[in-house]
């Protein structure tokens, strides 16, 4: 009998090598962000390129073929990306578009899956199971791509709100469809799938909202010993929503997005630090996810799948997506220009590629070909749609002018034992608080400006001190008037000393 080969245990040397490689990849990816922002090339393509270059067909010659590990890490990264996107979603912008976004996420996805699968079956010759899997996989818009692109394009708030909400909502039904189509046995009847989708969405929404409201209440009323703990607590609450929703057989993706949106609109303490922390984690998640997906790709095996990917992508972009938008938005009064832009803004990214690993893990026939087609489709049409979206918005007359007054940056820290709050207020360049005297702020009784920092020097202001752009104020407010003080500060920032006469309410 031959002796069995024992695997070498991991050592500190292996850890040192792993840390070196990961840190170098992160540094290259960070530098690539600057290059992609200047050239207009979507950053996700740069990250995918890094992964492909490190793979077995690239200069790195790294052999990686674990679809299971890719799927697990991809899911974890998507949780972080959805949490970061939810934290940055403004409720006042997304609220009017919730019905339209829900219709796009359910009705629109159904139309898109049907049209794309039909094209894949009759034009490419795929079996119906493989065609339905591809149709479901590519019908989900990518949250990371939508959040990163739309927040750089000055679109009307209604359009942005609908697209952001759709990208947060449509992952749940698509995941259910892909898993159902990837099972070894016969596919469930359509009414079973609809019932399962509705149930998972309801469970995920209930858990996400409950966890979000409970977490926001706790963070607003409990003073943590260090400000750095608040960002960690916020992200932990968001991940808890996902895990609880998934374990309850609901949509964990919808749960984490809704919980994060509740937290993001709850005026939590040390909010700028929390947003910066979440933004950094979101970048790390995107980099890691795309690089890993690039490693999983074998470019020399994709030659025969380029043409099918181009055909399916063309049908998806020019027929399936526009038709799904028109059908889903029939009950809503929307101009054709807005519908045209939302049709073109159905951006794909890492989510379809991650979902394409599900049939690979399930052992579906021709699953590798499905993955290759989805990968080529995402790369090509992201390269086409992303850079041209600002141009199309201008041509359709939907590019919003940047004429809104800059909002104040207000950070709050609770004083638990004193039953008060410290508000740190930064006056940006576009604020109308410039030129306003302290006594003209007319803060409610129980709130007062105690310190002003200007040009690196701090001083206690007088009632006649005139505020300037770039000033940082320290406002002390008792617990009962904390919200009223913030509303008044924002109102003055939007309308100046005539905020009352102008009807400026100071709402976020």
The per-residue DSSP string of 476-490 comes to EEEGGGHHHHHHHHH
Q: What share of the chain in percent tops pLDDT 90?
A: 16
Q: Span 38-45, mean pLDDT?
A: 62
Burial of 430 (0-12, 13-18, 19+ CB in 10 A): middle
Which residue is it, tokens 């790369």? 379
Q: Give the predicted TM-score (pTM) of the model.
A: 0.74
Mind listing the pLDDT tens digit for each residue in 425-458?
Answer: 888 877 888 888 988 888 988 888 989 998 888 8
How much is the pLDDT for 3? 45
459 Cβ neighbours under 8 A, 6+ residues apart: 451, 452
Please tell me which residue, 501 or 206, carries the higher pLDDT value. 206
Q: Are 82 and 256 in contact (CB under 8 A)?
A: yes
Strongest mean pLDDT among 156-160, 211-215, 249-253, 365-369: 211-215
The answer to whether 221 and 205 are in contact (CB under 8 A) is no
Structural contact between residues 257 and 82, judged by C-beta atoms closer than 8 angstroms: yes
Mean pLDDT computed over every residue of the chain: 82
Just give the CATH number of 409-502.
3.30.70.1450
Tell me the Cα Rg of the chain.
Answer: 25
Q: Residue 222: is its pLDDT beyond 70?
A: yes
pLDDT digits (tens, 9 = 90+) for 367-405: 888 988 988 998 888 888 877 888 888 888 876 554 445
Residue 446 token pair: 């129980």
- Please name which of 92, 108, 109, 465 lies closest in space to residue 264, comparing C-alpha atoms: 92
Do residues 294 and 48 lie in contact, with contact meaning Cβ atoms separated by under 8 Å?
A: yes
Cα gap 242→250, rounded to integer Å: 9
Mean pLDDT across the stretch 26-45? 69
How much is the average pLDDT of 314-318? 92
CATH architecture for residues 44-395: Up-down Bundle (1.20)
Q: Percentage of the chain surpassing pLDDT 70?
A: 86
Same fold, 44-395 and 409-502: no
Q: Residue 187: which pLDDT band, with cuts at 50, 70 and 90?
A: low
Q: Please answer whether residues 254 and 98 qualify as being in contact, where contact means their C-beta atoms are separated by less than 8 angstroms.
A: no
pLDDT at 239: 94
Q: Pairing relation of β-strands 409-415 and 472-478?
A: unpaired
The confidence band for 206, taking pLDDT boundaries of 50, 70 and 90, is very high
Give CA separation, 476 vs 221, 403, 453, in Å.
Answer: 16, 31, 15
Domain extents for the chain? 44-395, 409-502
**What pLDDT is stored for residue 418 in this prediction?**
63
**Residues 481, 71: Cα–Cα separation, whole Å:** 48
Residue 212's pLDDT is what? 94
Please, which residues have CB within 8 angstroms of residue 504's CB and are 6 or more apart in sequence?
491, 494, 495
| 254-299 residue pLDDT tens | 899 899 999 988 888 878 788 888 888 888 888 888 888 888 888 7
CA–CA distance, 112 with 132 (Å, rounded to integer):
11
Contact by Cβ (8 Å): 118, 312: no
In the structure, how many helices (H) and strands (E) does the chain have? Answer: 22, 5
Plot region of 456 (φ>0 → left; ψ -120 to 50 → alpha; else → beta): left
Note the pLDDT of residue 1. Answer: 44
pLDDT in tens, 56-105: 777 766 777 788 888 888 889 889 988 988 888 888 878 888 888 889 88
Distance CA 277, CA 219 (A): 16
């Amino acid at each position: 009998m031959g002796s069995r080969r024992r695997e070498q245990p991991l050592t500190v040397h292996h850890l040192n090598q792993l840390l070196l490689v990961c840190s170098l990849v992160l540094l290259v990816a960070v530098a690539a962000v600057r290059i992609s922002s200047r050239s207009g090339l979507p950053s996700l393509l740069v990250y995918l390129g890094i992964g492909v270059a490190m793979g077995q067909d690239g200069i790195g010659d790294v052999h990686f073929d674990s679809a299971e590990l890719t799927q697990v890490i991809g899911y974890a990264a998507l949780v972080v990306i959805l949490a970061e996107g939810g934290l940055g979603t403004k409720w006042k912008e997304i609220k009017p578009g919730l019905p339209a976004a829900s219709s796009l996420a359910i009705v629109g996805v159904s139309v898109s899956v049907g049209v794309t699968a039909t094209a894949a079956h009759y034009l490419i010759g795929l079996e119906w199971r493989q065609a339905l899997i591809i149709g479901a996989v590519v019908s989900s818009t990518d949250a990371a791509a939508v959040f990163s692109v739309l927040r750089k394009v000055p679109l009307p708030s209604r359009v942005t709100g609908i697209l952001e909400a759709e990208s947060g909502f449509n992952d749940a039904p698509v995941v259910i469809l892909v898993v159902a189509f990837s099972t070894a046995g016969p596919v469930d009847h359509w009414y079973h799938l609809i019932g399962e989708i509705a149930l998972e969405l309801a469970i995920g929404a209930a858990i996400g909202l409950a966890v979000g409201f409970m977490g926001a209440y706790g963070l607003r009323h409990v003073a943590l010993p260090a400000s750095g703990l608040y960002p960690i607590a916020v992200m932990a609450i968001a991940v808890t929503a996902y895990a609880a929703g998934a374990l309850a057989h609901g949509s964990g993706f919808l749960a984490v997005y809704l919980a994060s949106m509740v937290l993001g609109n709850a005026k939590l303490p040390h909010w700028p630090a929390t947003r910066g922390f979440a933004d950094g984690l979101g970048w790390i998640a995107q980099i890691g996810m795309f690089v890993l997906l690039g490693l999983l790709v074998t470019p020399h095996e994709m030659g025969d799948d380029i043409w099918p990917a181009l055909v399916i992508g063309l049908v998806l972009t020019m027929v399936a997506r526009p038709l799904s938008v028109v059908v889903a938005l029939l009950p809503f009064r929307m101009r054709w220009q807005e519908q045209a832009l939302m049709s073109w803004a159905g951006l794909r990214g890492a989510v379809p590629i991650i979902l394409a690993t599900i049939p690979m893990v399930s052992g579906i026939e021709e699953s590798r070909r499905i993955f290759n087609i989805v990968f080529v489709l995402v790369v090509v049409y992201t390269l086409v749609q992303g850079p041209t979206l600002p141009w199309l918005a201008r041509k359709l007359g939907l590019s919003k002018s940047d004429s809104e007054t800059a909002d104040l940056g207000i950070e709050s820290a609770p004083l638990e034992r004193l039953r008060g709050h410290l508000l740190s207020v930064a006056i940006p360049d576009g604020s109308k608080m410039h030129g306003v005297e302290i006594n003209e702020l007319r803060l409610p009784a129980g709130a007062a400006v105690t310190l002003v920092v200007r040009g690196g020097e701090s001083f206690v202001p007088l009632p006649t001190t005139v505020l300037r752009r770039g000033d940082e104020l320290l406002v002390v407010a008792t617990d009962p008037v904390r919200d009223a003080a913030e509303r008044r500060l924002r109102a003055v920032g939007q309308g100046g000393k005539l905020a009352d006469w102008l009807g400026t309410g100071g709402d976020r």
